[in-house]
Amino acid sequence: MEISDDENDGPFENPKEVDHRSTANGMKFIDEVLNGPNERCLDSVRMDKHVFYKLCDILQAKGLLRHTNRIKIEEQLGIFMFITGHNLRTRAIQELFRYSGETISRHFNNVLNAIIAISLEFFQPPGSDIPPKIREDPRFYPYFKDCVGVVDGMHIPVMVGVDEQGPFRNKIGFLSQNVLAACSLDLKFHYVLAGWEGSAPDLRVLNSALTRRNKLQVPEGRYYLLDTKYANMPGFICPYQDATYPLQDCSHPQDAKELFNHRHSLLSSTTDRIFAALKERFPILMSVPPYPLQTQVKLVVATCALHNYIRREKPDDFIFKMYDQENGLQMNDTLPPVEMDQPMMPIENQIPGFDFESEQLESSSRLRDSIAAEIWNDYISDFSTGV
């Protein structure tokens, strides 16, 4: 005879003594959160009440989560959000929800797998419209009208066995996974690739994203921005490597390359803000969670998917307000930043690991040159006329 979830959801104390009390206390706790002020809900489950309830409805409607006799979907999702949104360990969650460690762990994994199952619905590819951030700013329009976003990597702390640690040890000696993300300019993730070892070169991770079955798609005639640890190539535009980047003060750029790099850096800083917002909402990503590696990889994808879901449902929530503008960026990362790779210079018009023809790379260089020239010509014209 199989044991149902209902029969297996026991409290962490003696069931004969506290079964009803622990269940009541657990539900009372989540009910107090959801029935209290919205500010408490925001702080507790990292999203507004209506956003939380809608997510519960979505997961239930798709058959990914179900109520049990003892733990309703709201409480299951609440357990997951308390763990990821407050970086709490199982013992602390047991004290809050009054369930056994096994029950907490099982529902945590159930919710994680449910979110992964619908994650693709929350990752939307770039649209055909010009991003408002570009269209509405004369510094970027019309020059970057074909830009759809920014691609960059972030290192997330990881826990692996001693025998596996070598490849995961990054350049500064920390164990991490190298996560690649393609981001829109309005702080959404288009695409996320997690699980690569911390020592993996960023260009190799990008190549993997472009060649795997579920690959990063770049719309025809459009491009993403990259920073100097990558290379200028079809579908991607990097800063000039022989000019200052980024410029702290571009009040007097010396030439078209410097001015281009400055405008490029203003747009590409989007990834700093989206990564900061993600880690602010889900501080578990800044720690070393004691889960199997595959679970740690899933956590990155799931939290990015939830970030997108919340951004869609409540774009002005309290965390997004902190990072919507460039001057709101405050990086509170417990993992020191990884030293940047040396600029990737194509060798004899080739990029190692990428199957691009010389003409394709030259065409990409001409595109960047034409954008830089247009920006510079308009800058000189405006400067001369005192605009």
Question: Is 93 within 8 Å of 100 (Cβ atoms)?
Answer: no
Instruction: Determine what percent of the chain is predicted with pLDDT higher than 90.
Output: 73
Which pLDDT score is estimated for 268? Answer: 95
> Tokens 């992964």 correspond to what residue?
116
pLDDT tens by residue, 215-257: 999 999 999 999 989 999 999 999 998 887 665 656 688 899 9
337 vs 197: which has the higher pLDDT = 197
Which pLDDT score is estimated for 244? Answer: 75
Which pLDDT score is estimated for 245? Answer: 61
Handedness of CA 58, 287, 36, 19 (dihedral sign): positive
Closest listed residue to residue 100, CA positions, set 161, 13, 187:
13
Structure tokens at 354: 């990428």
pLDDT tens by residue, 4-15: 333 344 333 333
Task: Report how far residue 203's alpha carbon sits from residue 224's, in angstroms, rounded to the nearest whole number.
Answer: 14
pLDDT tens by residue, 277-328: 999 999 999 998 889 999 999 999 999 999 999 999 999 999 999 998 765 4
Which pLDDT score is estimated for 386? Answer: 62
Closest listed residue to residue 187, CA positions, set 284, 294, 329:
329
Which pLDDT score is estimated for 355? Answer: 78
Query: To the nearest whole number, what is the mean pLDDT of the chain?
Result: 86
Q: Residue 17: which pLDDT band, with cuts at 50, 70 and 90? A: very low
> Which of 27-36, 158-167, 176-185, 262-271 is least confident?
27-36
Residue 80 predicted with pLDDT over 80:
yes
Which pLDDT score is estimated for 249? Answer: 58
290 vs 1: which has the higher pLDDT = 290
Residue 20 predicted with pLDDT over 80:
no
Question: Is 237 within 8 Å of 364 (Cβ atoms)?
Answer: yes
Secondary structure of the chain in HEC code, one letter for each residue: CCCCHHHHCCCCCCHHHHHHHHHHHHHHHHHHHHHCCHHHHHHHHCCCHHHHHHHHHHHHHCCCCCCCCCCCHHHHHHHHHHHHHHCCCHHHHHHHHCCCHHHHHHHHHHHHHHHHHHHHHHCCCCCCCCCHHHHCCCCCCCCCCCEEEEEEEEEEECCCCHHHHHHHECCCCCEEEEEEEEECCCCCEEEEEEEEECCCCHHHHHHHHHHCCCCCCCCCCCEEECCCCCCCECCEECCCCCCCCCCCCCCCCCCHHHHHHHHHHHHHCHHHHHHHHHHHHCHHHHCCCCCCHHHHHHHHHHHHHHHHHHHHHCCCCHHHHHHCCHHHCCCCCCCCCCCCCCCCCCECCECCCCCCCHHHHHHHHHHHHHHHHHHHHHHHHHHHHCC
Which pLDDT score is estimated for 331? Answer: 39
Which pLDDT score is estimated for 112? Answer: 98
> Which of 45-49, 82-86, 237-241, 251-255 is least confident?
251-255
Which pLDDT score is estimated for 90? Answer: 87
> Which of 24-28, 126-130, 152-156, 258-262 is least confident?
24-28
Q: Residue 350: which pLDDT band, with cuts at 50, 70 and 90? A: low
